[in-house]
Amino acid sequence: MRSILVHADNDSAFEGRLQVALDLARRFEGHATLLIATPLQQFVSFDPFGGTYFAAEALAAAQADDLALESRLAERLAGEDVPWDIAMADGDIAGALAGAATFADLAVVSLPAAKDERHGGPPAMLAGDLAVSAAAPVLALPRGASALAGEAPAMVAWNGSAQAAHALRAAIPLLGGRPVVLVTVGDDDGDFPATDALRYLSRHDIHAELRTVDRGDKTVEERLEQEALAMGAGLIVMGAFGRSRLRETIFGGVTHYLLTSSRIPLFLAH
């Protein structure tokens, strides 16, 4: 993980994800790229008769804010011991990050605020949208998080799917040196047995535990969250599930639940 991409904005959670990105860049002797994105489409409106209106003054103000943010970030990063650069984009935030992630090893974003705390800021499902569209895996941090607990257990949500296998492979750099537990809820009926995943991890000197738990009266996502909290997990690794129907991306229940409520950092890959 030598190329770390981080979403940069004026949101209160930004400093925390910046700290995590810088820590990872130090750990892997990498480079941090901060991306500031201004979605131009929010400044365009259409009337019922086909007319188009462009809010030029609002756009100019947004661009001025971005330039001010770029200046503050450059000053903020000048004393860091990590190579960095700042990039600007004018597309939608998820699309801009997905494009920038083409040559990144990891993209760092924040999980959404609670509904009653949202006042503008990035889209609520940014982490999910990015996870199913970007070439790089996504590290989604709870708001207020400013570090990854490097020695805390990592829980891999395992269901035998290709997405789970891809997430597991991509997370290898973050799994070494900590306990790793593969958790399946109910029968593992996927295409790839958990024993194969354990064998793969062992070849990377990661000797993981397999834990199969009953669902009980809870949903799969609630049971996974319960297990993660019980083991004191510092990271949840999981596949990001999405399927296209009628041109809409519908996230699987587990992905959606954790993307909107997790108190533990999520490592996502599609």
SS3 123: coil
pLDDT at position 41: 67
Distance CA 108, CA 20 (A): 8
Q: How confident is the model at residue 268 (pLDDT cuts 50, 70, 90)?
A: very high
Q: Which residues of 40-54 are buried (b: 16+ CB within 10 A; e: fewer)?
A: eeebeeeeeeeeeee
Could you say which architecture CATH assigns to the domain 154-269? 3-Layer(aba) Sandwich (3.40)
- Residue whose structure tokens are 């950092």: 265
DSSP state of 41: G
CB 209 within 8 A of CB 158: no
Q: Where are the beta strands (DSSP E) in 19-172?
A: 31-37, 44-46, 52-54, 84-89, 106-110, 138-141, 154-157
Same topology between domain 3-141 and domain 154-269: yes
Helical (H) or strand (E) element with 236: strand 235-239
Sketch the domain layout of the chain as residue ranges.
Answer: 3-141, 154-269
Return the minimum-mean-pLDDT range out of 28-32, 155-159, 248-252: 248-252
Distance CA 31, CA 22 (A): 8
Could you say which architecture CATH assigns to the domain 3-141? 3-Layer(aba) Sandwich (3.40)
The amino acid that residue 78 corresponds to is: A
Helical (H) or strand (E) element with 257: helix 253-261
Neighbours of 34 (CB within 10 A): 27
SS3 134: coil
Q: How confident is the model at residue 247 (pLDDT cuts 50, 70, 90)?
A: very low
Distance CA 51, CA 64 (A): 27
Q: Is residue 90 scored above 80 in pLDDT?
A: yes
Q: Is the pTM of this model over 0.85?
A: yes
Q: How confident is the model at residue 165 (pLDDT cuts 50, 70, 90)?
A: very high
Q: How confident is the model at residue 91 (pLDDT cuts 50, 70, 90)?
A: confident
Tokens of 210: 């397999």
pLDDT at position 248: 33
Distance of CA 146 to the CA centre of its chain: 14
